[in-house]
Structure formats: structure tokens, C-alpha cells
Amino acid sequence: MIEIQEIGRRFNTRDGGSFEALKDVSFSVGDKEFFSIIGPSGCGKTTLLKMVAGLVKPSSGKVIIDGQAVTGPGNDRAMVFQHFVLLPWADVLTNVGFGLEMRGLSRKESREAAKPFLDRVGLTRFAEHYPHELSGGMQQRVGLARALAVGPDILLMDEPFGALDAQTRQLMQEDLMRLWDAEQKTVIFVTHSMDEAAYLSDRVLVMDTHPGGVREILDVPLPRPRDESARRTPVFNELTAHMWHELRGMMGDPTAPAPE
């Protein structure tokens, strides 16, 4: 169980003042839940995710995981970023095993332990390729395999598909859905895409802005396992329409058409 308790975060500004990025943010995420966070740019989504990761400290409030306050990064969590952050001089298998190597395994041991995770993302035959030889979607699969390889209970995903083209992004969503069905990790997933949030999640947090806060938390009443047919249901359409209504109101244009 992840508990976010009255989190606030202020940043200093160049003129000597401060900017309140997050205020009184509280919610919880259940074990093995797929929980997405959506909101306008600048509402603090990534900052909040980094607090759960232990990379940023809150100015007030606390993050609690399984009864323990988060004071820094931990082996129970792994983060997947929008930009792939792969080692350009290392082959795919070494990249997947990198986290294990940082935890004390030898290069040989980490490469061996990484093989099953490379297989799970369908890239076994690319084990000896280098990042520049892979497409964007394949690079992101490597990043996901690297996160899974360290055996975290919690995956923290910061717009992991945001840099991909529309077709690759949809394929990656389907891949992630299959992996989640198999692995049953707790996932907190930051996205700008209402479609993505509705398709992947058990619940979606819609964030307010200036300062960032909890506007509402939506249940996603779509059965699992899920496939592409979920996107063509009335429930899916109603959910994405509701999210857009909330978001466009925050952006100051309640008459703006929904994005295609």
C-alpha cells in the first residue's frame, strides 16, 4: 500500500520568493493496482512521482509505503522515464542487467539474470545490439525490461510512451498491459493521454493545478484482462470525455474540442 499524506512542495524562485507546486495532496494506491495520474502541464505530476521514488523530498507531508515513511530511493521501487536513458556504449543485454550490476552482481551474472526479462519484452534476438540500432519502441522495451529485472514491487512510470509515435505508443500500451497481467506489479503511471489512462488503469487521479492537488479520482470499470475492444465501449468513451471536460476547464477553454 502506498499512502500519500498531505504532500506539499515549494520551490525557490530566482527573485528570492517561492513557488507552490503541490499543496495538500492525499491519496492511496493499493497493492497490485495500476494507478494513473493525469493533469495539465505544470501541475506537479512528475514531482509527485519523484517523491514516491524518493528522489525529491516533500516540503510538507509524507509518502508511506507498507507502513514505512519514504526517505530516499529503495529496492522496492523502479522508475521508467520518458527518455530511455540507455547506455549507448553497452549492448541491450548489458543495459537490461545494469541495475543488477549496480547492486553488486558481476557483469556476467547480471547479463545472465537479465535474459528472462529481455525475453518478456520480446527482444531476445536483439541482445547483442546497441541502443542506436533499435527503434524508439524497442529502446523503451529495453528500459522496461531493465526496471523489471531488479525485481521491484512498485513500477513508477513517467510518461514512458510520450516520445513515441502514435502507432508505436498504442503497441507499447498493449505490451505493458500484457506484462502487467503477468507480473501484477503496483504501477503509478504519469501520462498526458486520457485514452492511455483509461485503457491501462484501475483508477485515474485527475490533478488540479496552480498549485497541484487532487481534483478527483475516477474508477475505471472496464473488466480485465483488457484488449483493444475496451476502447470501443460506451464506458471508455464516457470516461475519456469526462476527463477532457475536467482538463479543458482547468486550461481556461471549456469550449475546446477534445483532442483526436
What's the pLDDT at 260? 45
> In the prediction, which pLDDT does 83 show?
77
Distance CA 153, CA 150 (A): 10
Here the cell at position 106 is: 558481476
Query: Residue with C-alpha cell 488503469?
Result: 201
Question: CA 178 to CA 225: how far, in whole Å?
Answer: 8
Q: What is the rounded CA–CA span in Å between residue 82 and residue 88?
A: 17
Sheet strand arrangement including 77-80:
77-80, 154-158, 186-190, 34-38, 203-208, 213-219
Integer-rounded Cα radius of gyration of the chain: 19
Q: Residue 85 — pLDDT band, cuts 50, 70, 90?
A: confident
Are 200 and 177 in contact, with CB atoms under 8 Å apart? yes
pLDDT, mean of residues 25-54:
94
- Could you tell me the CA-to-CA distances from 166 to 65, 104, 182, 218 in Å, in that order? 34, 38, 25, 25
Q: How many CB atoms lie within 10 A of CB 25?
A: 25
- Burial pattern 86-102, b for ≥16 Cβ within 10 A else e, equals beeebbbbbbbbbbbbe
Average pLDDT over residues 204-226: 93
pLDDT of 9-29, one tens digit each? 998 888 877 888 899 999 999
Of 213, 216, 192, 222, the closest CA to residue 204 belongs to 216
3 state DSSP class of 30: coil
* Helix or strand run (H / E) with residue 155: strand 154-158
Provide the pLDDT for residue 252.
Answer: 65
* Residue 253 confidence (pLDDT): 55
Domain extents in the chain: 88-142
Average pLDDT, the chain: 90
Give pTM, 2 decimals. 0.90
Q: What CA–CA distance (Å, rounded) separates 143 from 98? A: 10
Of 159, 155, 162, the closest CA to residue 185 belongs to 155
Is residue 162 over pLDDT 90? no
**Mean pLDDT, rounded, for 53-65:** 95
- 240: phi then psi, degrees, rounded to nearest 5: -65, -35
* CA 235 – CA 224 distance, rounded (Å): 14
| pLDDT the model gives residue 12 | 84
Nearest to 51 by CA among 248, 212, 215, 221: 212
Q: What percent of the chain has pLDDT over 70?
A: 96
pLDDT at 255: 52
% residues pLDDT > 90 (the chain):
59
Q: Which helix (H) or strand (E) holds 191?
A: none
| Exposure of 84 in the CB half-sphere (CA atoms within 13 A) | 22
Q: Over the stretch 101-151, which tens digit does the pLDDT of each residue have? A: 888 889 899 999 999 999 988 899 999 999 999 988 899 889 889 998 988
Over residues 249-260, the pLDDT tens digits come to 777 654 555 544
Cell of 187: 504501477
